[in-house]
Amino acid sequence: MAEAISQAEKVKYMMQKFIPVAALIALFFAFSLVTDKFFTIQNILTIALQTSTLAFMGIGVTYAIITGGIDLSIGSVVALSGVVAGLAVRVGIPVLIGFLLALLAGIACGAVNGVMVTKLHLPPFIATLGMMQIARGIALYVTGARAIAGLPDEFGILGNGALFRTTTTLPNGRVVTQFPGIPYPVIIMIIVAVVFDFVLKHTRLGRFTYAVGSNQEAARLSGLNVNKVKVIAYTISGGLAGLTGIVTMSRIVTAQPNAGVAYELDAIATAVIGGTSLMGGSGTISGTMIGAFIIGVLRNGLNMQGVSYFIQQVIIGLVIIAAVAVDQLRKREA
Amino acid sequence: MSEEILRVENMTKRFPGVIALDRVSFDLRRGEVHALVGENGAGKSTLMKILSGVYQPDEGAIYLKGQPVVFHNPIEAQRAGISIIYQELNLMPHLTVAQNIFIGREPLKKGGSIDDKKMSEDAAAILSQLHVDIDPDVPVYMLPLSKRQMVEIAKALSYQAEVFIMDEPTSSLTESEIEELFKVIHRLRDRGVGIIYISHRLEELKYIADRVTVLRDGRYVSTDEYQSVTIDEIVRKMVGRPLEEKFPPRTSTPTNKKILEVRNITRVGVLHDISFDLYQGEILGIAGLVGAGRTELARAIFGADPKDEGEIFLFGEKVNIFSPTDAIRAGIGYLPEDRKLAGLALEMLLTENITLANTEEVSNSLGIISNKKEKQVAEQYVKELDIRTPSVFQVVKNLSGGNQQKTVLAKWLFRKAKVLIFDEPTRGIDVGAKYAIHKLIDSLAKNGVGIIMISSELPEILGMTDRILVLHEGRLVGILQTKETNQEEILNYATGLTSNASKKTGVTL
């Protein structure tokens, strides 16, 4: 009997993993069929680049959601940290230090969210809704709502550079790119995904994150510092929003206080498509990565097909609903 | 003799592994208060839930005013005139008294909007029938609990209920509030309503009960005119059975080495100045009725709830416990009454649950958990405690109750707890697994772990412990030597009829 349940569980688990992966592969396949230029190294790297920022935010919010919370402040924190980087660099602070300050700004916003949730006992929705307004307001105020342009070229390296870019010079003097290189944001994405996946799967912190979301009272009665775990989760979410801000602003070599509006909803969508439950206690980084790529591939493929941005929005909305509906159906059957 | 209004015949209800009600019959007359008594688990609540349509019986029939009736849900029962006043009230706190009374049946104006004025007047009329002074237009959350209860009663009355079921209605009321409730009950009775009154407080029956029915282990024992029985007889009938459950032989005897000293634990309104000692090799039972404060005492010692006063000494040294983390660090473990709600992360694996309170042991200095070590630990305890599972990587949700309890126990053993507090360790666990858990508890005591065992099942308390603390309404009313006591005596203490621990400290050896 117990054996049978365990088998069913395994199948269920596989299905949960399998459906999003299958959807992603199907999308790749479909777009490759209808568009010549879709399945090229160049385009796949483009998709990875476009997906990277979505992945950062998705990974961060996955932590918050697993504890049973949510982070609505992500988009505003993206803007604020980008603005911090831009302002710092404009007053002459080296780019690297400017980026670090921006990261710290994101971390600070996340930590404040965590403290509001744990010490002020605010519902995460409310705490991060407040932070959403505050961070956006500060970003707009300190810039006078104007973009910070005229930043040095180094500001753009992180977002636009690539590793292993190889070029040759033809006899006629023209420079031809042989391999476009792996964009830095993609490399960072891989590192971030691997690290945070490892933390969630193999460390005490990860274990505690699941335990808090799965049964907060049992976690507390097992001696876990529930508050600390939550603060760390929100801090991770804030920090990765900060990273997103840096990469986003670096790509356009401009610090834009209006950037990132509604990004938190994209982030939540990636987590949810990837199988993270908003009830807390479950979710994986691999799932979130797949969720991010589903959205990334959809946007890229639909763009190449010349589908209007507005229709893209409709389609992504349908994907979110379908992903969760399938999940619910599966749960009810079980 | 007045007319019969409700009759239940041969009611049987089975749950997986237990027969909650076994061919119980019962009747209620117009204008009487019929007390229904029995120990925890005797089947009172199950019977009430069947009468109010929450559960469907497996066998048996309900006759209302002579007609057979079947209730598929609580609404049908309510429409038929059976209303239940639960211990936890079912009101919507932010709606007004009148809105609560008429929820779903609001009087409408011609245009279809709610006629608030009429609703308010109707509510006031019903409340005045009960002679209670409540403004129908205040939100319910502003009322004290006793008044909310009156609102529930008024609501039931507005349904023209002829059968009232009251489940422990006095458990959270003060004495003057109880008096007012009794007056209302008398008024209802005089109106010809039949009242089924469930209470653990036998001493209050004399004010209201006309007849009393005793249930035990899901079976009907007796029905008597209240005048013709004594409380002693009722208690004897409630307890009745010989110790039929088998308990493993105890292999340890208490030494005179104190492990734990609890002094003057107080949580205002919940626990009053409770002190006791726990000795090595001893199993200390805590008995008491629902609401006596047993779980609250355990949680206060464990730091799960704040305490207003009190000190705890472990092996003679004072320990400051402000949170479960502190208690665990000091060496105390708590196995909560509700495993699913507070003991386990149900969606997580067996391995993960076993190591949850002691992940340091299976991880390196960077906090990276070794899957290999964790698996070894889990395998060790699966073997040691005989946890039946296809694999150590099983999701705990899929284990049986007994195996879940063993999982919680494994968690504390892996943490090397020196004092373990078991809160209803065998609730919802089948007989075979019970024996295994009792055996484990005994061997822990033998190995020097201090054991406190809270239980509502008196045979379990008598079969397993060396001494028994009896709580009544948050007070320690007796410390009994298990060998020298019996169920009647424990119940006498637990119902507040006797007390031996009123001396200041309550500490006796």
- Identify the structural domains of chain A with CATH numbers, from first to last: 39-160+176-329 (1.10.3470)
Residue B342 sits at the chain A interface (C-beta within 8 Å): yes
Contact B208, B186 (CB under 8 A): yes
pLDDT value of position B85 = 87
Residue B356 sits at the chain A interface (C-beta within 8 Å): yes
CB nearest B347 (choices: A202, A204, A282):
A282
- From A222's Cα to the closest Cα of chain B, the distance in A is 5
pLDDT value of position B171 = 75
Tokens 């983390």 appear where? Answer: B325
Measure the CA–CA gap between B298 and B248, rounded to whole angstroms: 25
- Would the CB atoms of A5 and B391 count as touching at under 8 Å? no
- Would the CB atoms of B356 and A220 count as touching at under 8 Å? no
ipTM score of complex: 0.85
Contacts of B375 (CB under 8 A, 6+ apart): B351, B392
**pLDDT per residue as tens digits for the range A170-216:** 888 888 877 888 999 999 999 999 999 999 999 999 999 999 999 99
Residues from chain A contacting residue B395 (CB–CB below 8 Å) = 9
Q: What is the DSSP letter of B484?
A: G
Q: Maximum CA pair distance of chain A?
A: 75
Residues from chain B contacting residue A276 (CB–CB below 8 Å) = none
- Would the CB atoms of A218 and B343 count as touching at under 8 Å? yes
Q: What is the DSSP letter of B398?
A: G
Two structure tokens written together for B4: 């019969």
Please classify residue A174 by burial: count the beta carbons closer than 10 Å to its beta carbon, then call 0-12 exposed, 13-18 middle and 19+ buried. Answer: exposed
Q: Which amino acid is at A108?
A: A
Residues from chain A contacting residue B360 (CB–CB below 8 Å) = 204
Tell me how far the alpha carbon of residue B410 is from its chain's centroid.
25
Q: Looking at the predicted structure, is the pLDDT value of residue A268 above 60?
A: yes
CB nearest B336 (choices: A9, A221, A223):
A221
pLDDT value of position B382 = 94
CA closest to B338 among chain A residues: A218
Measure the CA–CA gap between B7 and B11, rounded to whole angstroms: 10
Contact B480, B488 (CB under 8 A): no
**pLDDT per residue as tens digits for the range B400-437:** 888 899 999 999 999 999 999 999 998 877 666 788 89
Q: What is the DSSP letter of A305?
A: T
pLDDT value of position B431 = 65
pLDDT value of position B503 = 42
Two structure tokens written together for B386: 């005989």
Residue B349 sits at the chain A interface (C-beta within 8 Å): no
Q: What is the pLDDT confidence band of residue A4, given thresholds at 50, 70 and 90?
A: very low
Contacts of A222 (CB under 8 A, 6+ apart): A211, B324, B328, B356, B357, B411
Measure the CA–CA gap between B103 and B91, rounded to whole angstroms: 10
pTM of the model: 0.79
Two structure tokens written together for A187: 């490399």
Radius of gyration of chain B from its Cα atoms, rounded to whole angstroms: 25
CB nearest A207 (choices: B342, B352, B395):
B352
Q: Classify B143 as helix, strand or coil.
A: coil
Contact B284, B465 (CB under 8 A): yes
Strand partners, B145: none
Contact A230, A117 (CB under 8 A): yes
Alpha helices in B116-197, H assignment, sequence order? 116-129, 145-158, 175-190
CB nearest A9 (choices: B360, B367, B398):
B398
Q: Within a 10 A sphere around the Cβ of B70, how many other Cβ atoms?
A: 12
Phi, psi of A290 (to 5 degrees): -65, -40
pLDDT by 10s per residue, chain B, length 509: 578 999 999 999 987 767 889 999 999 999 999 999 987 668 888 899 899 898 999 999 999 999 999 999 988 998 899 998 876 678 888 999 999 999 888 999 888 899 999 999 999 999 998 888 899 999 998 888 888 888 988 998 888 899 999 988 887 777 788 888 999 999 999 999 999 999 877 888 989 999 999 998 888 999 999 999 988 888 888 877 554 557 888 888 899 999 999 999 999 989 999 999 999 999 999 999 878 899 999 999 999 999 999 999 999 999 999 999 999 999 999 999 888 888 999 999 999 999 999 999 999 999 999 999 999 999 999 999 999 888 999 999 888 888 899 999 999 999 999 999 999 998 877 666 788 899 999 999 999 999 999 998 888 999 999 999 999 999 999 999 999 999 889 988 988 877 775 443 444 43
Contacts of B336 (CB under 8 A, 6+ apart): A221, B295, B342, B343, B408, B423
Q: Within a 10 A sphere around the Cβ of B290, how many other Cβ atoms?
A: 12
Residues from chain A contacting residue B359 (CB–CB below 8 Å) = 204, 207-208
Closest CA to A306 of A84, A37, A15: A37
Measure the CA–CA gap between B28 and B196, rounded to whole angstroms: 7
Residue B61 sits at the chain A interface (C-beta within 8 Å): no
Q: Which amino acid is at A238?
A: G
Using an 8 Å CB-CB cutoff, list residues of chain A that contact chain B: 2-3, 5-6, 9, 202-205, 207-208, 210-211, 214-215, 217-225, 281-282
Measure the CA–CA gap between B290 and B87, rounded to whole angstroms: 11
CB nearest B325 (choices: A204, A223, A282):
A223
Q: Which amino acid is at A184?
A: Y
Measure the CA–CA gap between A132 and A218, rounded to whole angstroms: 31
> Which segment of A15-19, A306-310, B195-199 scores lowest on mean pLDDT?
A15-19
CB nearest B346 (choices: A6, A9, A215):
A215
Residues from chain B contacting residue A194 (CB–CB below 8 Å) = none
Closest CA to B157 of B195, B107, B120, B183: B195
Radius of gyration of chain A from its Cα atoms, rounded to whole angstroms: 21
- Would the CB atoms of B398 and A6 count as touching at under 8 Å? yes
CA closest to B353 among chain A residues: A211
Two structure tokens written together for A205: 């912190």
Measure the CA–CA gap between B216 and B244, rounded to whole angstroms: 13
Mean pLDDT, range A65-92, rounded to an integer: 97
Measure the CA–CA gap between A251 and A263, rounded to whole angstroms: 16
Domains of chain B: 1-81+162-241 (3.40.50.300), 91-160 (no CATH), 255-331+417-509 (3.40.50.300), 334-415 (no CATH)
- From B193's Cα to the closest Cα of chain A, the distance in A is 43
Contact A186, B324 (CB under 8 A): no
Residues from chain B contacting residue A221 (CB–CB below 8 Å) = 302, 304, 324, 334, 336, 342-343
CA closest to A208 among chain B residues: B356
